[in-house]
Amino acid sequence: MEITTTSERPFQRLALDIVGPLPITESGNRFILTMQDDLTKYSYAIPTKRYYPIEEPPSPRIL
């Protein structure tokens, strides 16, 4: 069993993932960038047209 630590405040630790490739939507999106806060479990999803490396998020709305 692995011992893990829990965040002490919101947005201290985030989990990011890319879902896809999915069928292309009418807006041309093919991937979904997902984010979940470790403490609050708040989740956010952003549709994107292409895969973005995590170092280059598609939107400043997350940061």
Q: Which of 39, 42, 43 is nearest to 6 (CA)?
A: 39
Task: Give the mean model confidence (pLDDT) for residues 9-21.
Answer: 89
Residue type, 7: S
CA–CA dist 7, 38 (Å, integer): 6
pLDDT at 60 over 60: no
**Which residues, 6+ apart, have CB-to-CB distance to 21 below 8 Å?**
30, 31, 51
Task: Give the mean model confidence (pLDDT) for residues 49-62.
Answer: 64
pLDDT tens-digit readout, 20-46: 999 999 999 999 999 999 899 999 999
Task: Give the mean model confidence (pLDDT) for residues 4-23.
Answer: 88
